[in-house]
Amino acid sequence: MKRNESEVDILSTFVEEMESRGGNRISIRLDIDESMLERINKRNGSKLDLEQLHKYADRCLANEWLEHTLMCVGKYVQLSITTVPFPQ
């Protein structure tokens, strides 16, 4: 499957958050929600909607670039980045 730049945008948001908070992948949990959508759209000048962002998040989850940290809280809640390599 061809990699989509929005998958990179989601993962980059996690890295930005780790750098800004001085945390690591274990301590940073993010939701794929309106706040992340706004952040990505502002950064890129894009017009993604939440449904599209969730589709890209599904790809990140399927490839194990993101993982759930809590169960029974929702599919896009409290996610963390993993150490699974992103293909070049």
pLDDT-based confidence at residue 4 (cuts at 50, 70, 90): low
Coil, strand, or helix at residue 84?
coil
- What per-residue confidence (pLDDT) applies to 25? 94
CA distance 80 to 34: 17
Do the beta carbons of residue 7 and residue 61 sit within 8 Å? Answer: no
What is the rounded distance in angstroms from the CA atom of residue 38 to the CA atom of residue 23? 22
Kindly state the percentage of the chain with pLDDT values over 90: 81
Domains of the chain: 5-81 (1.10.10)
Look at residue 71 in the predicted model and tell me its pLDDT: 82
- Mind listing the pLDDT tens digit for each residue in 46-83? 999 999 999 999 999 999 999 999 888 889 999 999 99
